[in-house]
Amino acid sequence: MASSFKKPAWSIKVPAAVGFLALVVLVLGLGLWSVRTELAGAIISQGVVEVQSNRQVVEHPDGGVVGEIFVRDGDAVARGDMLLRLDDTFLASEKTIVESQLFELLARMVRLEAERDGVDATELANRLEELRKRENIASDLLAGQERLFNARLDTLAQQTEQLGKQKTQIENEIEGNEAQLVSLRTQVDLIQSELKDQEGLLERGLTQASRVSALQREEASLLGEIGRLESSVARLEGEISSTEIRIVELKATRREEAISQLRDVQARVVELAERRLSLNERLSRLDIRAPVAGTVYDSQVFALQSVIQPGEPMLYVVPQDTPLLVAARVDALHVDQLHRGQEVALRFPAFNQRETPELNGHVMNVSADTYTDDSTGFTFYRAEVIPDDGQIELLNGQELLPGMPVEAMIKTDERTPLSYLVKPLADYFYRAFRE
């Protein structure tokens, strides 16, 4: 009975002491390691490869209908090479209409200027010829204005000639009246002389009083006729002045009408000239050329007669021989740890990771404000990263292409393991005790 309660041959104290000692060493070691050891941190972000000068978007400010297509995706182009040509039917038709109106007004303006300046038909012909050489206007259009000028000039000449004839007729009538006046004045002089003699004889009783009275009546009649003729001459001279004024008014009216019409025509010419200039500019933009040398991609134009909206991208040209960079999207929460010059490790998921090493680079630029992805709502800062010198050669001939995905690990300040453990808890309790 006593033998069944014998003490065990070994004691648990030693293993327990060893285990406790090991636990203490482990805890102290982990604590010392968590306090003394510093681990390198990194901001992991996704990005894509881009060219430093960015892709060149090809768009058209006015839009239109595609007339010809010269390139497809993947084609290499030089600066100035033709990419597309838009149909010019509508613009060419509109330009024809505008130019026909403009040329007619230009010819009319030259004719009105000639009427304003009072030049002859020869001078007008010279001016119209200068206009024809400058604007390449059809000769029949210029001939029409020349005929109108001559017709108006002939009308003016006929009216002036008619008034001139009236003036000549009046002058002849004045000459007749003046001749009668000379005759009447002579008769008056003779009668006055005879009347003087008869009055002397009457005083001596050598003649009859009736004879003297008859001479006096005749003198009065002649003086009355002289007065009437002098009044008629004055009236006719007034008519001559009126006729001369009418001749002057004819020329002045023609000049004033020309000036008035010229003012309206000049304003219309300026308007049409501006429209033609705008149309020429739009026609010159129908030939769409490559802005830079590079490769065509992401073309949105596939068929002739397709409609291009104003300002909509038609295709893109990736510049050739342009340095590449990585555009990384960094979460806005980490912006306080982001700055220019930071070291970055770049990984390219598109390559075989066993054969492709990480590339070292640095942050070249950080955007001044955030961007928002419309599809996901993700808010981020754009960090531009460029590989360090000599890093591209480590790819063993593999080519980086624009649009290729990149994983960027932006190195941050080193921290102890304890800070990684404590900081989330500290932040939690900091917020927990605040309303």
Assess whether pLDDT exceeds 90 at residue 413.
no
Assess whether pLDDT exceeds 80 at residue 423.
no
From CA 415, how far away is CA 407, in angstroms rounded? 22
Q: Average pLDDT for residues 181-198, to the nearest whole number?
A: 85
Q: Average pLDDT for residues 278-301, to the nearest whole number?
A: 88
- Band the pLDDT of 3: cuts 50, 70, 90: very low
Of the ranges 76-85, 189-198, 397-406, 422-431, which is most confident? 76-85
What lies within 8 Å, CB to CB, of 81 at 6+ separation is: 70, 71, 289, 290
Q: What percent of the chain has pLDDT over 70?
A: 88
Of the ranges 214-223, 261-270, 292-301, which is most confident? 261-270
Residue 71: count of CB within 10 angstroms of its CB: 21
Burial 188-211 (b: 16+ CB within 10 A, else e): beebeeebeebeeeeeeeeeeeee
pLDDT for 63: 85
Assess whether pLDDT exceeds 60 at residue 380.
yes
- Band the pLDDT of 2: cuts 50, 70, 90: very low
Q: Which of 53-57, 218-222, 412-416 has the lowest mean pLDDT?
A: 412-416
Per DSSP, what are the bridge partners of residue 382? 329
Amino acid occupying residue 275: R
Assess whether pLDDT exceeds 60 at residue 29.
yes
From CA 360, how far away is CA 341, in angstroms rounded? 12
From CA 29, how far away is CA 35, in angstroms rounded? 10
Q: Average pLDDT for residues 137-147, to the nearest whole number?
A: 88
* Whole-number average pLDDT of the chain: 84
Global model pTM greater than 0.85:
no
Assess whether pLDDT exceeds 70 at residue 117.
yes
Q: Tokens 């290499």 appear where?
A: 76
